[in-house]
Structure 1
């Protein structure tokens, strides 16, 4: 019987796995499946002229979210979170290349809106005042109105949500933090629930759940006709339920072929593709290669896969041949150490 994977290895594996698979898939982002040689090693990213091993917006924004949560004792602070994203966008904060060289259209537009709203309605106020609270509520209402349409269901919040699963103190906290983390740029119910589903699975993985247990838990949660349940306190959004709820057990994921999997930037496609690569394979490397070679939004499919697979298999299962090419991993290591310190303090208190 194999030795249990230490919790520290799972946390480290999750964040490093996200960054590694993000960088692994980045060079074939935007490319049609089958139009490129199999990706099984790090290559330079010709899309943005960055060297091999450079992680993209997926990891940078996850780092921003991690530091925001940790700077606020594991809780959501919308303004702090958004300001960190804006610092990444404008100044290259938490970037592997010193600049924000890749950003989704919806995220870019939402952050531009936040910049205008904060400058006009919030920054001059005492952040602890009633006026600031009211202004923030009005800003989020406008964001909700602008970005809750059917065409606002990209994967920009799902790709960065991993820290919610690593920082939270309990599974209810996980799904709450995951939902909240999506709201600044992707408030559509489909996006928030995709983040909640994924983060709950990451949390279960950290606590040693098997793939069989996770697949059954996922199916029961998504198909539960009588909420509340362990994913959310209201019914799963119909489109999400239709796509994810059809997988009733682990064998359903394992028997699904790549021809049935879409790897676009649509949040439901991205969630399904990443979980498919995770449930279908038996090692971090095998799943990573499967995920990124789906093409299209390959870096984000890889990043979402890498977070949950790294948590499941542990840091030691991530190939050294990929790790040695990674850039700016000191940023990832710093976030990991802060997460582990936070978790240790939570246990002690």
Structure 2
């Protein structure tokens, strides 16, 4: 029986799903759960004085990563990724409003470090060895427990969209976290999420995804990572062995903070507890707190699962800078057609 959702719709749905839910959740970012009227439509983002439909840093950095993969032939180039992030941060590259109006504390600190080191490196004729030395320094500085935010998880979606296999997706996801969030907890969260999205693109059911997730929490392939699954992440997600385990978990026990483990759990909880794209989106963003990022991560997976056509037209009409999304989605599909 043919897949009812074409791959092209899944890829476009994933990218748009992330951006739509990012824009949907942005206006209630930072707000405690239950302190605002439930979000069901695009609203102005009063946090940054923006009109409805403006995606935030989650989508801009996702587009930067996607463009880097495309420019590098589907391969990972950490320095190219970083340069695109810096261009977004400094000059508004791939922003919904032409400027960077929101950036995570850890991400900004890491990009400042990269920017300074790359400037010095540029003056001294850069080499691969010099770039590896910079990455090693970044890992020393930002590989501590206090840097376990969701800044790399929120942008990792293109690793699955561009990949030719699940192993490729997981490897691209692993490397994409390293420039700003090298802690194994962040790296492994990205790998787990990318694997789920890739399986979704291939038509996996929610039951299959939940079982696959339970297995991946036990072990990450040794040819991708030298370390076992990060213990704190494994403990949190290890309690979910089946789809039913997700469905019986009450919202009250779900935390939607910027901590990477909270964010991944909250995003997956909203996805597994919904039957439609818009239900997943509203479940995610109405958790409050880091609503845009929880929404974006859930939206990327839900968009891949349900397809582009499942995204409400009323939300799409309000979206700004959709030409950026269309261009990247088309390039990804063209790349896949030449490599798969």
| Range of TM-score over shorter length | over 0.9
Q: How does 1:78-93 map to 2 (within 5 A)?
A: 78-93=78-93
Partner residue in 2 for 1:64:
64
Shift of 1:233: 5.8
Partner residue in 1 for 2:11:
11
Give the 3-state SS of the residue equivalent to 1:327 in structure 2.
coil
- Would the alpha carbon gap of residues 219 and 230 (structure 1) be closer, same or farther in structure 2, given more than 3 Å must change? farther
Q: Distance in 1 between matches of 2:244 and 2:143?
A: 34
Which of the numbers 153, 162, 175 marks the counterpart of 1:180? 175
Partners of 2:257 and 2:289 within 8 A in 1: yes
Shift of 1:344: 0.3
Partner residue in 1 for 2:236:
243
Shift of 1:169: 1.0
Q: How does 1:279-294 map to 2 (within 5 A)?
A: 279-294=272-287
Deviations 1:252-295 (A, max 9, x none): 00111100100000000000000000011100001100000000
Partner residue in 2 for 1:217:
212
Q: Distance in 2 between matches of 1:121 and 1:346?
A: 34
Pair 1:207-2:202 in alignment: yes
Q: Distance in 2 between matches of 1:139 and 1:2?
A: 48
Pair 1:346-2:329 in alignment: no
TM-score, normalisation: structure 2 = 0.97
Matched pairs, number: 340
- Would the alpha carbon gap of residues 3 and 192 (structure 1) be closer, same or farther in structure 2, given more than 3 Å must change? closer
Pair 1:133-2:138 in alignment: no
Q: How does 1:286-325 map to 2 (within 5 A)?
A: 286-325=279-318
- Aligned-residue CA RMSD in angstroms? 1.4
Partner residue in 2 for 1:29:
29
Partner residue in 1 for 2:96:
96
Q: Distance in 1 between matches of 2:316 and 2:124?
A: 44
Q: How does 1:112-191 map to 2 (within 5 A)?
A: 112-122=112-122, 124-125=124-125, 132-191=127-186
TM-score, normalisation: structure 1 = 0.95
- Would the alpha carbon gap of residues 13 and 229 (structure 1) be closer, same or farther in structure 2, given more than 3 Å must change? farther
Shift of 1:125: 1.5
Partners of 1:175 and 1:232 within 8 A in 2: no
- Would the alpha carbon gap of residues 299 and 230 (structure 1) be closer, same or farther in structure 2, given more than 3 Å must change? farther
Q: Distance in 2 between matches of 1:153 and 1:274?
A: 16
Unaligned runs of 5+ in 2: none
Shift of 1:220: 1.3
Give the 3-state SS of the residue equivalent to 1:324 in structure 2.
helix
Shift of 1:223: 2.2
Give the 3-state SS of the residue equivalent to 2:74 in structure 1.
coil
Q: Bigger CA drift: 231-240 or 90-99?
A: 231-240
Unaligned runs of 5+ in 1: 127-131
Q: Distance in 2 between matches of 1:232 and 1:322?
A: 39
Partners of 1:175 and 1:199 within 8 A in 2: yes
Q: Distance in 1 between matches of 2:93 and 2:252?
A: 38
Q: Distance in 1 between matches of 2:195 and 2:215?
A: 13
Partners of 2:171 and 2:224 within 8 A in 1: no
Q: Which 4+ stretches in 1 moved above 6 angstroms?
A: none
Q: Bigger CA drift: 77-86 or 185-194?
A: 77-86
Which of the numbers 260, 264, 274 marks the counterpart of 2:253? 260
Partner residue in 1 for 2:52:
52
